[in-house]
């Protein structure tokens, strides 16, 4: 079944979408990348070229692999261009309404046998699948950020996902050289259910004045051997994404331990979303990041 997947469509040319296109092209698939504006697609293609060049300089890929992979990527000017895709992966913002709207637009274009996947990090696969015309051929394929570097992919079946769909997705993940971890369809799956409350707790630790931004990050880097501190990691992920995952956990499991920290809410309301807006728990506008509190 996995061998039948030849062309992959990716919806969303942001950080995650471009990473998914990158690994699919290196994995030997023909890839179509779509976004609402052509300039976003062009910007995404430039990011992919730059990231592959970095991999080349690090010696992780050869020039032949880079050229071949770049040759497999095409811009999709509209959703109709995804008609030939065997698998379409939605990688838009972590907002259920946005995702449902995309599915409503892309499903009529797709081949009946094509698989539709979502890269959601927290939203119910069963619920998203039910809004499509193909719940049996719908699955969660959740990549980790940054996609080219992270080895894990969470595979999440909805209640209606057929075994054939699951096996095809598993073969696809293997072809990319990634490791699949299978999660049940519960809010935030596995990685984010464990990771996001830890980040949220770090923000509470800051909010309550237990430690400064630098002290908290240093404590977890050196005291728990985390490669980056939780507040630095939150900035990298995007504070809006952190908040939306915590809200999904809080609403989905109705447990007060998942209540988003008020300080996280305040930063998101300020538009300080982390690295992408150049301010979050650190200010990235100077030569080196400076804590904002």
The residue annotated as part of the active site, out of 154, 183, 200, 244, is: 154
- Active site includes 91? no
Q: What is the pLDDT of residues 110-128, one digit of tens each?
A: 999 999 999 999 999 999 9
Nearest to 169 by CA among 148, 146, 142, 139: 139
* 23 plus 166 within the same structural domain: yes
* CA–CA distance, 137 with 114 (Å, rounded to integer): 7
Q: Find the CATH number of the domain harbouring 268.
A: 1.10.1040.50
Q: Which of 119, 154, 183 is the endpoint of a domain?
A: 183
* 157 plus 227 within the same structural domain: no
Q: Which of 147, 166, 183 is the endpoint of a domain?
A: 183
Cβ-Cβ contacts under 8 Å for 32 (sequence gap 6 or more): 7, 8, 9, 10, 74, 75, 76, 81, 82, 84, 85
* 179 plus 237 within the same structural domain: no
Please give the structure tokens belonging to residue 166.
């699951």
The residue annotated as part of the active site, out of 90, 94, 122, 142, is: 142
Q: Which of 143, 164, 183 is the endpoint of a domain?
A: 183
* CA–CA distance, 96 with 78 (Å, rounded to integer): 21
* 136 plus 245 within the same structural domain: no
Q: What is the pLDDT along the chain (293 residues), one digit of tens a residue?
A: 444 899 999 999 999 999 999 999 999 999 999 999 999 999 999 999 999 999 999 999 999 999 999 999 999 999 999 999 999 999 999 999 999 999 999 999 999 999 999 999 999 999 999 999 999 999 999 999 999 999 999 999 999 999 999 999 999 999 999 999 999 999 999 999 999 999 999 999 999 999 999 999 999 999 999 999 999 999 999 999 999 999 999 999 999 999 999 999 999 999 999 999 999 999 999 999 999 99
Q: What burial letters (b/e) apply to 27-63, b meaning 16+ CB within 10 Å?
A: bebbbbbbbeeeebbeebbebbeebbeebeeeeebee
- Active site includes 250? no
* 226 plus 119 within the same structural domain: no
The residue annotated as part of the active site, out of 119, 121, 183, 200, is: 121
The CA R_g of the chain, rounded to the nearest whole Å, is 19
Q: What is the pLDDT of residues 12-66, one digit of tens each?
A: 999 999 999 999 999 999 999 999 999 999 999 999 999 999 999 999 999 999 9
* 55 plus 39 within the same structural domain: yes
The residue annotated as part of the active site, out of 124, 192, 200, 244, is: 192
Query: What is the number of alpha carbons within 13 Å of residue 125 lying toward its C-beta?
Result: 29
pTM comes to: 0.94
Residue 215's domain comprises 191-291
* 144 plus 196 within the same structural domain: no
Q: Find the CATH number of the domain harbouring 83.
A: 3.40.50.720
* 42 plus 121 within the same structural domain: yes
* 23 plus 131 within the same structural domain: yes
DSSP, collapsed to helix, strand or coil, labels residue 88 as strand
* CA–CA distance, 10 with 55 (Å, rounded to integer): 22
CA dihedral sign, ordered 90, 95, 99, 101 = negative
Domain count, the chain: 2
- Active site includes 145? no
């Amino acid at each position: 079944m996995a061998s039948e997947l030849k062309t992959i469509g990716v919806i969303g040319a942001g950080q995650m979408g471009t990473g998914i296109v990158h690994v699919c092209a290196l994995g030997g698939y023909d890839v179509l990348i779509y976004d609402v504006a052509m300039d976003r697609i062009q910007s995404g293609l430039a990011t992919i070229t730059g990231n592959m060049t970095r991999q080349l300089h690090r010696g992780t890929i050869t020039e032949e692999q880079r050229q071949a992979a770049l040759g497999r990527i095409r811009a999709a000017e509209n959703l109709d261009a995804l008609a030939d895709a065997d698998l379409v992966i939605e990688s838009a913002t972590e907002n259920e309404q946005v995702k449902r709207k995309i599915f409503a637009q892309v499903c009529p274009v797709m081949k009946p046998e094509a698989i539709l996947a979502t890269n959601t990090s927290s939203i119910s696969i069963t619920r998203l699948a039910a809004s499509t015309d193909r719940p049996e051929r719908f699955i969660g394929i959740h990549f980790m950020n940054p996609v080219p570097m992270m080895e894990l992919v969470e595979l999440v079946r909805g209640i209606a996902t057929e075994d054939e769909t699951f096996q095809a997705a598993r073969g696809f993940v293997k072809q990319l050289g990634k490791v699949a971890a299978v999660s049940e369809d519960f809010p935030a799956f596995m990685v984010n259910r464990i990771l996001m409350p830890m980040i949220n707790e770090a923000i509470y630790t800051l909010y309550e004045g237990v430690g400064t931004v630098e002290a908290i990050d240093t404590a977890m880097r050196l005291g728990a051997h985390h490669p980056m501190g939780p507040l630095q990691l939150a900035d990298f992920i995007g504070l809006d994404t952190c908040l939306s995952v915590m809200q999904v956990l809080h609403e989905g499991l109705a447990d007060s331990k998942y209540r988003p920290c008020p300080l996280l809410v305040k930063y998101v309301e300020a538009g300080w979303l982390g690295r992408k807006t150049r301010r979050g728990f650190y200010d990235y506008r100077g030569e080196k990041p400076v804590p904002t509190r």
